[in-house]
Each structure stands twice: as C-alpha cells, then as structure tokens.
A and B are shown apart, each in its own frame.
Chain A
C-alpha cells in the first residue's frame, strides 16, 4: 500500500504537470489555428440568426 501511494504521488507530481501543460498548448493551438477562424466566426454569428426553423429534412409538400 505504501509503495502504491508513493508511486501515485510521484506520477501525478511529474507526469501530471507535463500532461496539463501539453494539453493547454493543444487547446490554445486549436483556438488560434488560422484554419479554424472561419468556422468560429460563422458559429459566433449564427446564434444571431432569426430564422427559427430547422434546416433540411423538410417533408414533401402536403399534396404528396
């Protein structure tokens, strides 16, 4: 039990740090990736769209 506890502590104190730093870098890279800019701007503006209907999946007209 003693060893298990020490191992967990050592692991979280070393690898835990690197994993969080690495993870943060990935998140920042994703957020600032130039290729994502268009999708983000579109998402940001899409909320303000006033059309209150789902897109597509429209059934055929009533006569069908």
Chain B
C-alpha cells in the first residue's frame, strides 16, 4: 500500500486526500439524508470506503517522492492493482453465478431465509459482478497497459488512473451492495440507482479524458487500432449509460427514482442500451485486448490491419441499430423490429472479419497454439466470438426469435459469448500480462494455466449445451398444440423438463468457477514469487530509501 502511494507526487497525494475527504462527506450526507431509506446504508458504504482509502493514503503520505527517472518508465501500478481486482471479481461474480444456478436447479437451497439471499437480488450481483466487476476491471487494467505501449508514452499523471480504477470499483461495490438491499431500477444491466449512475458518469468522463491526454502525448504518429476499440468502448458506454439512466429521483434522500421514459419508449431505450452494452462493453473493448495481446503473444503481426479498421467501423455503426431485435413481437413498430433484425444480420460481416483476422494471425503458428495454453485461450476466444456472433445474428431473425425468446437459449447464447469469448480472451491476456507486469519469465505455474484452460473449456461447453437443449425444449413445449387446439403442455411441465439441464448448467458453471479459482491462485503465487525475488535483490544492495530521498531533494 505504502509502495503504491509512494508512486504519486506529494501534490497528487494531497489531491487524493481532498477527493477522498469530499467523497466521505458525500457518504456522510447520504447516510444522514437517507436515514430510514436504503440510501442511508449506501451512504455508509461510501463513507467506510473513502475513509478506509484515506487512511491508506495517509500511511504512505510521508514516503519519499518518486524521482524524475519514473518518466522513463511506463506507469503500471494501476494496471497491477486492476489485475488483482479483476481476478477477485471473477471469483466473486462467478461464485454467485454458481449459487443462483444452483437455486434454479434446487429452489429449496435457499438456506438463509432472508430477502437478500433470494434469487431476484442475487442474480444482478452475478451479472454486474462478472460484467462490470470482472470485465470492467480487466478492460481498465489492460487499456492502461495497451494505451501506453502503443503510444510509446507514459500516462500523463499518477493520480487520474487511480481515480478511474478505484472510483469504478466504488461504483461496483455500491451497486452490488444495493442489490442485496433490494435497490434496483429494474433495467437489466443498468440496475444501479441514480446516485451510483451519476458517480459512474464522473469516473467515466475522467477515464475518457485520461485516454485523450495520453494519446495527445503519443510518440507514434498512427494510433494503433486496439486503442480505437478501447475508445469506442469508453465513449459509447458513456453515451448509453447517460441516456438510458435519465431519471428523476423521488428526493435527494431516496434511493428510488423514476425513469424519464415509459412504455415502449422505455423498452426501446433499455434495449438500445442493453444490446450496445454487449457491443461496446463486452465486444469492442475485448477486441481491443485481442488486437494487442494476440499478436504480441503469438509473436506475429495481425493478419490484416486494413481488415481490422474496416471491421471496427462496421461494428461501431451497425451495432447501434441492432437493439430492437430484443423487442420482436411487441408494441414496438414493426419497421423498427425489422431494422434491428437487418442490422443484426449485417453485423455478421464485421464480426466474422475480426474472428477470421484473429485466426488467420495464428495460421502458421499452430504449433505455438498447441504448446502454449495462453495462446490457446485466445484462439478459443476467437472461435467462440465467431460462433456466438453467428448465433446472435441468427436469433435476431424474427421467426427464429419466436422460438428462442424468453427461453434458456438466450441464456446459453449470452454465456457462449461471456464465458467462451469475453472470459477466455481476458484470461489469455491476463496470463500474458501478469509476467510482464511483475517482471518474471512466466507465470508461477504453466501447468495450472493448462488445468485452467481445460476446466474453462469443459465448463463452457457443458453450460452452453445444457442451455441450448433446455431452451429449445422450452420453446417447442410452449408452442405445441393438441388436437383440441389448446396448448399440450402447461408452463409447469416445461419447468419440470428443464430440471436435468439446470443441474448440468450448475455443474458447467462450477467447472468454470474452479478454473477462475485456479487462475487466482496462480496469479497470487506469481506475485508472491516476484515480491520475494525483489526483496532478495534489494537486501544485498544499498538501502533504497536513502537513495531515493537524495534524488528527490
């Protein structure tokens, strides 16, 4: 902790303390103004978070200032902490996922007879935990790394990246703790209430400005395509988040708010947001990751740089219009549904261009893919990216959607993307990045990477096949008529038919979670080994504190 603070200049430490003081005052105001309302408890979360961090900053406040030689290195402390947070959120988010999957298979498993332990409150902890906690932290951590390397420029200062990373995690914690208390605005993937939303806007704008400030300092004339993807992720998520969350709170002291939209407009805004969250949160940023770490790990340049540019603009401009395919056969005007359907089909072109580009990059390096589990993670990710984008385009076709909508097929599709693509590319990138960050040759145990790979792949396949089966059975049961012209099966019949698949799904999830736990231990062991090595080195040398103080004076 002290070491992290000592990377900041004294002025930056002061700014950090002022920001944390302001934040704790806001927390206090929320706790006081929101007493008798769930917001009061959220205020205490903010208060404890910011006061706790302020103590951490104060502990390192009198550490010597970093010397000027820091400017000859990239600033990687926020990336390192971001990696650790990514892994923690992965385990937490996926564990809650296994929990809710088990609740679906065995509803009597609700062993705590408390409101917070009910399915409805735990489920968003899982979705937000994996999407925003795991995915978001991975994106922030890797984006800082990729941005600096491809620009050949250091981040402009030492405070802003911390503000983005820590501020973002405060949002995640406020969101998750709020769900357990029953706070939600009932918009899927946008559940957090107005105060958390406003905070995220502030963090996100700072994130975008940090990106622009670093790019302005770049020493490479051309901005590498990975940065385009990261920037599209940051910029579009800001736009989506702001518009979809326009709402009026009941009062300053109430967590509850009312959306500015209603009826079908509300549904359209929500799914314009929701599908673009898939596009720009779960695709664009992770493509940025892929376009950097895949060529880097394979030791080969990307197959076609031009293709990556064309697919970038294809993805950015087509995805924007695809959201209405979530609202087939609803009150939404037919032409808007058709528009969403057409754009979803067109999306296959840029999506497969990216997936093909990744696989073509590996063409000629298949022996590396065979031997190196890290590269295999990335290869499988590209394959699942191709598969799930094809599936998505297919499911967006109105008649197909009439079978798949409201069934587990959708859940299977989402997890083919989330486990097979997003998590696989993230784990692959993390395994490449961790040794670079902690200055080691390899991860602590390459064998454990291998174990993780097979657990993750097996888990994904079990999960996805279980949900395909379950979903299609559901869809068919709901549209089977008997001779009398009435439905052949009751809804409960279809629920009973799903039971074996729900058990399989929970098992697949458990495999995937075990893989994440293996990853967490491997990362932890790598960091510990690196720290031991460093201690061993400095122990025989001159005292480092005295040297640093002289340079600072």
Contacts and interface: CB of A to CB of B under 8 A. Distances in A.
Nearest to B155: A54
Contacts of B80: none
B309 A31 contact: yes
Residue from B72, B299, B306 having most chain A Cβ neighbours under 10 A:
B306
A14 interface: no
A1 interface: no
A34 B335 CA distance: 40
A35 interface: no
A53 B222 contact: no
Interface of A: 9, 12-13, 20, 23-24, 27-28, 30-32, 39-48, 52-60, 62
A1 B68 CA distance: 63
Contacts of A62: 69, 551
B305 A44 contact: yes
Nearest to B68: A59
B74 A53 contact: yes
A55 B220 CA distance: 9
A56 to B, nearest CB: 6
A14 to B, nearest CB: 13
B401 to A, nearest CB: 22
Nearest to B335: A9
B221 A39 contact: yes
B219 interface: yes
B71 A57 contact: yes
B153 A44 contact: no
Contacts of A58: 71-72
Contact of B69 (A30, A44, A45, A59): A59
B181 to A, nearest CB: 40
B309 A55 contact: no
B305 A41 contact: yes
Interface in B306-348: 306-307, 309-310, 313-314, 317, 335, 339
A55 to B, nearest CB: 4
A43 B235 CA distance: 23
Contact of A43 (B71, B154, B220, B335): B220
A6 to B, nearest CB: 11
B302 interface: yes
Nearest to A58: B72
Q: How large is the interface on B (under 10, 10 to 19, 20 to 34, 35 or more residues)?
A: 35 or more
Which 9 pairs, one residue from A and one from B, show the smallest C-beta to C-beta distance? A55-B219, A59-B68, A55-B152, A31-B306, A27-B313, A39-B222, A44-B305, A44-B301, A40-B305
B149 interface: yes
A28 B310 contact: yes
8 contacts: A9-B335, A31-B307, A31-B310, A44-B301, A47-B301, A54-B152, A57-B153, A57-B217
B150 A46 contact: yes
Nearest to A33: B306
B306 A40 contact: yes
B278 interface: no
A54 B72 contact: yes
B295 interface: yes
A8 B71 CA distance: 53
A30 B314 CA distance: 13
A54 B148 contact: yes
B73 interface: yes
Nearest to A57: B71
Contacts of B465: none
A30 B551 CA distance: 49
B2 to A, nearest CB: 24
B302 A44 contact: yes
Contacts of B58: none
A53 B310 contact: no
B29 interface: no
Contacts of A31: 306-307, 309-310
A41 B221 CA distance: 12
Contacts of B73: 53-54
Given A28-B310, A30-B309, A39-B221, A47 B296 contact: yes
A31 B306 CA distance: 5
Given A30-B309, A48-B301, A43 B225 contact: yes
A51 to B, nearest CB: 9
A57 B156 CA distance: 11
Contacts of B74: 52-54
B224 A23 contact: no
